[in-house]
Each structure stands twice: as structure tokens, then as C-alpha cells.
Amino acid sequence: EPEVTQTPSHQVTQMGQEVILRCVPISNHLYFYWYRQILGQKVEFLVSFYNNEISEKSEIFDDQFSVERPDGSNFTLKIRSTKLEDSAMYFCASSEVRTGGARTEAFFGQGTRLTVV
């Protein structure tokens, strides 16, 4: 069964460093998302990406964050100058687009646990 894959599963980084989280969405999906979940809190939307550009973003997704689809399969989230409060699980998700433009349900990857020390 197709699935969204994320690497690495766990990343530890020093405060102030840059990290890149990687995702391979399901191959025929056209919408891609990043969410995060701080320990014990709810899953929060960060950004969606469609047709090689950001389509929506939340207030959390500030200039510290960027996304890229560097090739036909990968979708990355870059966090510059990481802070302690960036420690969280980061989930990538993807969805199809039906005829007429409606998106289908989102399929989530297993997440990358980011720990900033």
C-alpha cells in the first residue's frame, strides 16, 4: 500500500543550527503538507504546497521555515536557526486532487521527532 515516508525518524540538533526534514509523498498525490505536534499538544498545520508553490500557511510558518520540492519525489521542510521550542514531531502528509479540484483525505507519514538541545 502506498505510504508517505519521512526521514530521519529522529533528529537531534543544537540550538541555532539549521535542519532539513525530508518527505516522500505518495506518488500520485499533488498536495503536500507539513504539520507539527509538540509533545502532549494537538497536531498543528504549518504549510501546504501545490503546483510547486506554497498554497496556504499558518501563523507558525514564519521566516524561519521554508519548504521545497527539489525533485519529482522529495518534499522538504527547512528550519533555520532552530530554537528549543521547535522541538516537536513533524509530520508530512499528502492528498490527491479529484476532478473538479477537491482534495481527498490527507495521508500522514510516521513523523520526524526533532529535538533541539
The contact set with other proteins (CB under 8 A) reads 4, 33, 35, 41-45, 48, 55-56, 89, 91, 93, 102-103, 105-111, 113
Instruction: CB nearer to other proteins: give 75 or 91.
Output: 91
Contacts of 55 (CB under 8 A, 6+ apart): 31, 48, 49
Instruction: CB nearer to other proteins: give 14 or 100.
Output: 100
Q: Give the span between the Cα atoms of 56 and 44, in whole angstroms.
A: 13
Strands 107-108 and 88-95, by their bridges, are: antiparallel
Q: List beta partners, residue 22.
A: 7, 76
Nearest Cα to 2, choosing from 84, 112, 114, 107? 107
User: Could you tell me the smallest distance in angstroms from the CB atom of residue 81 to other proteins?
Assistant: 26
User: Could you tell me the smallest distance in angstroms from the CB atom of residue 11 to other proteins?
Assistant: 14
User: Could you tell me the smallest distance in angstroms from the CB atom of residue 88 to other proteins?
Assistant: 12
Instruction: CB nearer to other proteins: give 111 or 114.
Output: 111
